[in-house]
Structure 1
């Protein structure tokens, strides 16, 4: 079936993590799963455009478990964007650093997971859903838990700042478990900062429970090392009358795979997914999304956009499931791409699987080049070609950027996007 023994890479990585004493039950089950399934083979359907196992096979012999790098308060503050005033949670090669963080403890709790709390992990992002979930289960060194209490309204966002720094090659394994109780509301902001261009493998799992009538906004900026191999498994359970909104902006990396799953578990709930990927060089970004409608009167909205140049590659695979009981579902999905070079490629596959008969669902995708007529129109009105080009590209990207709920973070991300569009495209 494949030229790579399916257990080879998993066994190598597991062999680098022999002395992890916490979370024994989840580690045991995950190791058993990996021994049977291994990591995805290059031709397996879910990973056929993103051969992460093959990529890891080329480099993993030189890698080792990550340890906190040299990091100080001055460096941290340089990465705190202008206008931010909330709590700051700092992670150093996947490990939470309390001395560099700013945690007020108002209206929510934050803690490093202890052994007796093992039962929280793996209930949402299940081992069998993806081999990289199982690999994180078996190898993560320290997990963190955030709990927002019932009826709590967290007025200022919680900023999760991840610093990745490799020497010759690190295996970084962040783990988050977030629980937002009934009638609560919170905004999370996440940024990944690579401190050098050395290679690393980051394998992250985030689980979020959004309880009844709770509202959660989660925005992520991915600016990985150009040599980074990255897998993010992000899964949410969304309950009655609750809302969850995800925004993901991907700018760099060697090979990045984002798995995002929204489980709509009751009536009246809503899931929103927005993504933007600006790719140049040989960066490869794969967004795999899943929305599972299980009950009637729920809604999902999804919009992903890509701008690609040089020899970059984008992949979008979006699945919407509408179960038999999920009557009156309203589901929308769209993926649009602009290719700026002949060598850039995109593989897009929007999918609908519907078992109910009273639903309103639509999906679609487009791939093309810049509108030459619009470009000519702007040049005719005095704009230089590159300026006109950047303006059109920013207008294309702006529909996703405006979905970021926090004003300061949206401005910060917008500046990053404008810099990219002005300098690289």
Structure 2
């Protein structure tokens, strides 16, 4: 078992937590010590040895304190063409003066009813660690029948000297018939490794529509665990798109609970990895009610000594008749040293369903490459164009035009497909 599970090692982190939510924190702390950080043989983390990584890179656990964030830093972090609202986090703490939010959306401290009601600490050690020791969380509420026409950009600034932990904690709730789009971007400051352990709980009421887009491009300083869990009700829709371009070791847990008929959940991901970047995407879709739909597509392009992991689970409960569920994972390896571990899974207890899943792993199509070269396109750009055609299917699911264009530019630059 990891030495990080010992009381002495974790005491500074737990002692640095505020006194609020005492019962919820105590429950989570007990759950964390019961589970411990994932050991080498832990099935859910067997390809992502994050406990070993933390032991090597993080000397001790302490909560990271807020640092100086200026208006100029915020302006620099906003991508070109963005028109919308800004929510600035400073090592997980809301910076109200630097944030600009729509008047109809309320921001407040977390309540006892919200914390841990969707993301259960017993399900994952990192959820438990966050709940037991996060310093400050926030709740975002979009009222009933409110349509937020412009996206809300969450700029999460993180800086931590060795031995510090950043633990953002966010609750998002959209009322009946509400619509909202979030874009999450993390900016690392300084040169030290940063361990970020994030929990986001999202609740979509009847006929709500929520988009949650994420860009992970923090460089090789980032050691990150993210748990996003969503409950959506009747006639509601939730769409997540995760674009992973860099990081040291990144683990994304995305869980979607379909709790009402005619609800729809969409999960899309693209990971473009090089160097020794390690990205692990674990998804879970739980169909509990008849007449619900889920769509899932993750694609990866891996070069150098990078490693990707995909594990997608779809559960169809006995009462969830007329379920329609699709899951696919496709990968291209550009190096003999790149590795992908992929495992799509279906568990079905209902008999009147339409479900499919699959995965592919291969190399670039040499015939298509030759075809483009024969028409006057040099090999490097031809390769980039083919790779972009492969990746672009995920980017098409980003509905916000400015963020879509920004991601397209980043992906094209990485793949060498810009003219």
Q: Normalized against structure 1, the TM-score is what?
A: 0.95
Q: Tell me which residue corresponds to 2:24.
A: 26
Deviation at 1:286, TM superposition (A): 0.3
Contact 1:251 1:278 (C-alpha < 8 Å) held by counterparts: yes
Q: Does residue 228 of structure 1 match 2:226?
A: no
Residues 14 and 263 of structure 1, relative CA distance in 2, 3 Å threshold: farther
Q: 2:302 aligns with which of 308, 324, 335?
A: 308
Residues 11 and 380 of structure 1, relative CA distance in 2, 3 Å threshold: farther
Q: 1:78 aligns with which of 76, 79, 82?
A: 76
Q: Tell me which residue corresponds to 2:106.
A: 109
CA distance in 2 between counterparts of 1:413 and 1:170 reads: 30
Aligned residues: 417
Residues 240 and 221 of structure 1, relative CA distance in 2, 3 Å threshold: same
Q: 2:333 aligns with which of 333, 336, 339?
A: 339
Deviation at 1:38, TM superposition (A): 1.2
Greater shift in the superposed pair: 156-165 or 188-197: 188-197
Contact 1:207 1:234 (C-alpha < 8 Å) held by counterparts: yes
Q: Does residue 15 of structure 1 match 2:9?
A: no
Deviation track 1:234-280 (CA, whole Å, cap 9, x = no partner) reads 00001001000000000111110000000001111000000000101
Deviation track 1:284-329 (CA, whole Å, cap 9, x = no partner) reads 0000000000010000000000000010000000000000000000
CA distance in 1 between counterparts of 2:387 and 2:328 reads: 18
Contact 2:295 2:327 (C-alpha < 8 Å) held by counterparts: yes
CA distance in 1 between counterparts of 2:281 and 2:33 reads: 26
Deviation at 1:118, TM superposition (A): 2.0
Q: Tell me which residue corresponds to 2:47.
A: 49
Deviation at 1:136, TM superposition (A): 0.2
Q: Tell me which residue corresponds to 2:286.
A: 292
CA distance in 1 between counterparts of 2:132 and 2:242 reads: 26
Contact 1:194 1:223 (C-alpha < 8 Å) held by counterparts: no
Residues 32 and 325 of structure 1, relative CA distance in 2, 3 Å threshold: same
Structure 1 runs of 4+ with >4 Å offset: none
Deviation at 1:169, TM superposition (A): 4.5
Greater shift in the superposed pair: 33-42 or 121-130: 33-42
Contact 1:255 1:283 (C-alpha < 8 Å) held by counterparts: yes
Q: Does residue 207 of structure 1 match 2:233?
A: no
Greater shift in the superposed pair: 399-408 or 223-232: 223-232
Q: Tell me which residue corresponds to 1:387.
A: 381
The 3-state SS of whatever aligns with 2:118 is coil
Deviation at 1:41, TM superposition (A): 0.9
The 3-state SS of whatever aligns with 1:324 is coil
Q: Tell me which residue corresponds to 2:86.
A: 88
Contact 2:148 2:180 (C-alpha < 8 Å) held by counterparts: yes
CA distance in 2 between counterparts of 1:169 and 1:419 reads: 34
Contact 1:331 1:360 (C-alpha < 8 Å) held by counterparts: yes
Contact 2:12 2:61 (C-alpha < 8 Å) held by counterparts: no
Residues 44 and 267 of structure 1, relative CA distance in 2, 3 Å threshold: same
Deviation at 1:14, TM superposition (A): 4.1
Matches within 5 A, 1:235-384: 235-384=229-378
Q: Tell me which residue corresponds to 1:139.
A: 133
CA distance in 2 between counterparts of 1:224 and 1:259 reads: 18
Q: 2:66 aligns with which of 52, 57, 68?
A: 68
Q: Does residue 195 of structure 1 match 2:193?
A: no
Q: Tell me which residue corresponds to 2:96.
A: 98
The 3-state SS of whatever aligns with 1:83 is coil
The 3-state SS of whatever aligns with 2:52 is helix
Residues 380 and 50 of structure 1, relative CA distance in 2, 3 Å threshold: same
Q: 2:56 aligns with which of 42, 55, 58?
A: 58
Residues 234 and 206 of structure 1, relative CA distance in 2, 3 Å threshold: same
Q: Tell me which residue corresponds to 1:156.
A: 150
- Please tell me the root mean square deviation across aligned C-alpha atoms, in Å: 1.6
Greater shift in the superposed pair: 193-202 or 364-373: 193-202
Greater shift in the superposed pair: 157-166 or 60-69: 60-69
CA distance in 1 between counterparts of 2:85 and 2:254 reads: 25
Unaligned runs of 5+ in 1: none
Unaligned runs of 5+ in 2: none
Contact 1:6 1:37 (C-alpha < 8 Å) held by counterparts: no
Contact 1:297 1:327 (C-alpha < 8 Å) held by counterparts: yes
Q: Tell me which residue corresponds to 2:124.
A: 130
Contact 1:6 1:41 (C-alpha < 8 Å) held by counterparts: no
Residues 175 and 11 of structure 1, relative CA distance in 2, 3 Å threshold: farther
The 3-state SS of whatever aligns with 1:394 is helix
